[in-house]
Amino acid sequence: MNQILAASRVYVTKEIRRKQKFYKITFTLSVITLIILLTYYVFAEKRRDDQEAISQEILTQLSQTQDSTIIPDATLMIDLSSGETQEINAEELEYDVEDDGSSSSNPTGNGSSSTRHSGTVKTKSGKNYTSEAIFSYPRLNINYPVLDKTSTYLLTVSLNKYWGPAPNEVGNYCIVGHNYTSGKMFGKLKNAQKGDEVKLTDVKTYTTVTYKIYDIYVIEPTDVSCTSQLTNGKRELTLLTCTNHGKQRLCLKCREV
């Protein structure tokens, strides 16, 4: 009996107790780390949802003002503060829609009847955002405003213009967006197919051009050849997003139908 008790005491050694304590601490730290990661994920998703709400708010405001201001293709008579009148051709008149729905100046660029909008809207947060276009990919249900420049912050809000001419002009209009696993922004582009149609609407004239995807490929982050403006006189779109865990870029080339 004494031998059995002695063997039991020898078996539960200080080393074993140390290991047991180590395993308990490791398990506790693992649980804490898991909780931290889950909390971070929840807050990150909440932040992305908030940014998505801002993007859709911008989109809604742009859509609501689509038909708010029409410039006739005619000579306009403007009453000046002096009480005089001045004859101004619609092609020379600057015109756009401010946040309160009133109108001010912005060039039309053509003599036909068209809708004019500044592209700048104020969100509920009080912050102004300026968009150049609205991008739509009907089959994948992607619909976002394209903000007029690119920055780390603006990329969290919506799609950004990366390079190129004004929307729907001859050249290569390049759009960049985050690839979120939730499918937000350009998260669905991995499901794109050649032959799919996408649309780009210029928010200053609300003219829409349809493009068809003709090439899909992956490039290195340092490869900017896809932004080339040599389009042989055609109107093109280039869509860019991250892939392979951010190590490379997915590139979709589109050409006017």
Reported as a single tens digit per residue, the pLDDT across 206-223 is 899 999 999 999 999 999
**Is residue 117 within a helix (H) or strand (E), and if so which, with residue range?**
none
Residue 77: pLDDT over 70: no
Alpha helices (H) in 131-237, listed in sequence order: 152-157
Q: How far apart are CA 213 and CA 198, in angstroms?
A: 8
Q: Which residue, 57, 92, 116, sits at the end of a domain?
A: 116
Pick the most confident of 33-42, 60-69, 81-90, 177-186. 177-186
Q: How far apart are CA 210 and CA 136, in angstroms?
A: 9
Give the number of C-alpha atoms closer than 13 A to the C-alpha of residue 119, restricted to the C-beta side: 20
Q: Are residues 89 and 174 in the same domain?
A: no
Q: Are residues 212 and 251 in the same domain?
A: yes
Q: What is the pLDDT of residue 244?
A: 94
Percent pLDDT > 70 in the chain is 71
Mean pLDDT of 5-20: 68
Q: What is the pLDDT of residue 96?
A: 34
Q: Are residues 135 and 98 in the same domain?
A: no
Q: How far apart are CA 251 and CA 242, in angstroms?
A: 9
Q: Are residues 8 and 91 in the same domain?
A: no
Q: What is the pLDDT of residue 152?
A: 94
pLDDT-wise least confident of 2-6, 14-18, 201-205: 2-6
Q: Are residues 189 and 220 in the same domain?
A: yes
Q: Are residues 140 and 194 in the same domain?
A: yes
Q: Are residues 81 and 57 in the same domain?
A: no
Q: What is the pLDDT of residue 176?
A: 97
Residue 116: pLDDT over 60: no
pLDDT confidence tier of residue 109, bands split at 50, 70 and 90: very low
pLDDT tens, residue by residue, 139-165: 999 999 999 999 999 999 999 999 999
Higher pLDDT, 90 or 125: 125
Structural domain that includes position 52: 1-66+123-257
Q: Are residues 106 and 22 in the same domain?
A: no
Please count the other Cβ atoms lying within 10 Å of the Cβ belonging to residue 201: 22
Higher pLDDT, 12 or 30: 30
Q: Are residues 173 and 218 in the same domain?
A: yes
Q: What is the mean pLDDT of the chain?
A: 78
pLDDT confidence tier of residue 52, bands split at 50, 70 and 90: confident
The first and second tokens of residue 87, run together, are 């004859």
Q: What is the pLDDT of residue 101?
A: 35
Residues in the chain: 257
- What is the domain count for the chain? 2
Q: Are residues 84 and 183 in the same domain?
A: no
Mean pLDDT of 176-199: 96
CATH number where 12 lies: 2.40.260.10
Determine how β-strand 75-79 pairs with β-strand 235-243: unpaired
Q: What is the pLDDT of residue 65?
A: 65
Q: What is the pLDDT of residue 80?
A: 36
Q: Are residues 104 and 213 in the same domain?
A: no
Q: Are residues 89 and 207 in the same domain?
A: no
Mean pLDDT of 221-246: 96
The first and second tokens of residue 149, run together, are 């420049």
